[in-house]
Homo-oligomer: A and B are copies of this chain.
Amino acid sequence: MNIGDAARASGVSAKMIRYYEDIALLPPAARRASGYRDYGADDVHRLRFVRRARDLGFSIEEVRELLSLWHDKSRHSGDVKALASRHIAALHSRIDALRNMAATLETLVDCCAGDSRPDCPILADLSGDGGRCPP
């Protein structure tokens, strides 16, 4: 299986597959005589794992840990759970940060006339003319 097929089968771009190999997230791929990388079902399986973990927002380094836990048949599920829980906490703090931004902006947008006049509580807030915009 060429890299392009592996990419299509796993949902990871060929570019990324090479990159993951380069940073040793994945073991060096087998090579044909031509130098082409050659992938099998196991490789695609691992790629799908990586893809799924990335889709869940794990960083490359976290995926590295997940892969090593996955391959370790004597792992403790507690270690996986701890890693996932840490990630969930990180997600929640990012969510909170974004929600705070959105809430602030929504308040400002709600009291902006949004017409052709220049007066704008959004700009007023940004420029530090502390809020005369209570909702």
Residues of A within 8 A of B (CB): 45, 48-49, 52-53, 55-57, 66, 69-70, 72-78, 80-82, 84-85, 87-88, 91-92, 94-95, 98-99, 101-102, 104-106, 108-109, 112-120, 122-123, 125-128
Contact = CB atoms under 8 A, between A and B. Distances in A.
In order of increasing CB-CB distance, the 9 nearest A-B pairs are A81-B114, A77-B120, A91-B102, A57-B101, A78-B114, A76-B116, A81-B112, A80-B120, A95-B98
Contact of A126 (B53, B95, B102, B105): B53
Contacts of A109: 81, 84-85, 88
Contacts of A126: 49, 52-53, 56, 66, 70
